[in-house]
Amino acid sequence: MRVRFIPVACLSLIVMAAPVLAKEKKHDKQMDPQQMMELWKQMAQPGEPHKLFAGLAGSWTTVTKEWMEPGKPPTESSGTAEMKMLLDGRFLYQEYTGQMMGQPFSGIGIDSYDNMTKKYVTAWMDSMGTGIFLMEGTASPDGKTITLKGQHPEPGGGQMKHRAVWKIVDSNTQTFEMYGTHHGKKESKVLEITYTRKAS
C-alpha cells in the first residue's frame, strides 16, 4: 500500500500545483500533465538559497542573550548547535542545546526556501513546549539577511507576534534576533543568538 500511495500523492500534488504553475508561466490554456510534471521537477530542485544553507552545515558554539523585560539588562548563556542538510540539500536541520530562562534547553529547527511560494519557512520545536512554531518571510537581495514573521498562543489567551532577523554574516558567523509583541503592545527585543563555527 505504501508503494502505491507515493505516485498517487505525487499526482495529487501536481494537480493542486497546476493553477499556480500555470499562472507562474502565464500560459493562456491549461497545461498538459507532461508539462506540469516537468515544471514540478524544476520547482523541486535546490537553488541558490539552498546552496547558502548548505554552507552552514557543521558544528557551532552559541552565545544567547535573553531580555525578560524591556529596558533591563539581558541574561547571557552559552550553547552548541549542530547543522546538516536533509533530503539531498533541500532543508537545513538544526539541533540546538543550551539554556533558556536559567533552565536546560534543547530545540530542533528546520529551515527551507519554498521555490513555489518564493518564501523562507522555518519550523521550530523545543523542550519548553509541545507545539511547532512556524515562521515565514523573505530575504535581502544577497539572501544573507532573512526576515521571518509568525505568532503563537500566549498563556491566558491571545497571540504573541514575532519578528526574527537571521543574518548569515559569513561561513563562520551568523546571528539570530527575535522581537516580540505581547497583546498589541510595543515590539521589543527578546532574544539574540550569535553562532560561531567550531574550529576543526
User: For the segment 22-46, what is each residue's pLDDT rounded down to a tens digit?
Assistant: 454 555 567 788 888 888 888 899 9
Angle at 174 between CA 123 and CA 73, to 5 degrees: 90
Which pLDDT value is given to residue 17? 46
Over the range 26-55, which residues count as b (16 or more CB within 10 Å of their CB) and which as e? eeeeebeeeebeebbeeeeebeebbebbee
Query: Measuring CA to CA, which residue among 54, 183, 65, 43 is closest to residue 115?
Result: 43
How confident is the model over 150-176, as a mean pLDDT? 91
Q: What is the pTM of this model?
A: 0.80
The rounded radius of gyration (Å) of the Cα atoms in the chain is 20
CA distances from residue 83 to 59, 87, 96, 119, 195 in whole angstroms, order as listed? 6, 14, 9, 21, 11
pLDDT for 14:
38
Q: For residue 53, give the C-alpha cell.
A: 544553507
Domains and their CATH numbers in the chain: 2-44 (no CATH), 49-197 (2.40.128.20)
CA distances from 185 to 147, 157, 160 (A): 20, 15, 10
Considering only residues 76 and 154, tell me which one the structure prediction assigns the higher pLDDT: 76
Name the nearest CA neighbour of 133 among 103, 164, 97, 174: 164
Mean predicted lDDT score pLDDT of the chain: 86
